[in-house]
Amino acid sequence: MVASIALLQREPGLQILGSWFVHVTGEIEHREFLALAVAAAREDEDLVVELRADTLPAQVLEDAGFALLGRTRPMVCGNLVGINLERLMSFASLGSMG
């Protein structure tokens, strides 16, 4: 498996997957990584992830047991041109948690 890294945050009653960075952006690697994340998460609590739009096909998320709910939009200050977001799959904000 090609390297990916994510933080699995465990809050009371909620688990957050993110930030999540990948080395390559392939569907097979994403499926494998989501399967590992779900296996590492506690079964009795929700596991959520905030993704950038269009980072993963909806079917990949659904196959891993996720449901698409809501939308987020990153706020940018300054010029985004020099920032490579291709390796950033998810943020970890979920509002003001943490």
| pLDDT single digits (tens) 19-32 | 888 887 688 888 99
- In the DSSP assignment, the letter for residue 41 is S
| H and E: helices and strands count for the chain | 2, 5
Specify which residues 22 forms β-bridges with. 4
User: Phi and psi at residue 24, in whole multiples of 5°?
Assistant: -125, 160
Domain residues of the chain, as ranges? 4-91
| pLDDT single digits (tens) 34-88 | 999 999 999 999 999 888 777 888 899 999 999 988 877 777 788 878 777 777 7
pTM over 0.95: no
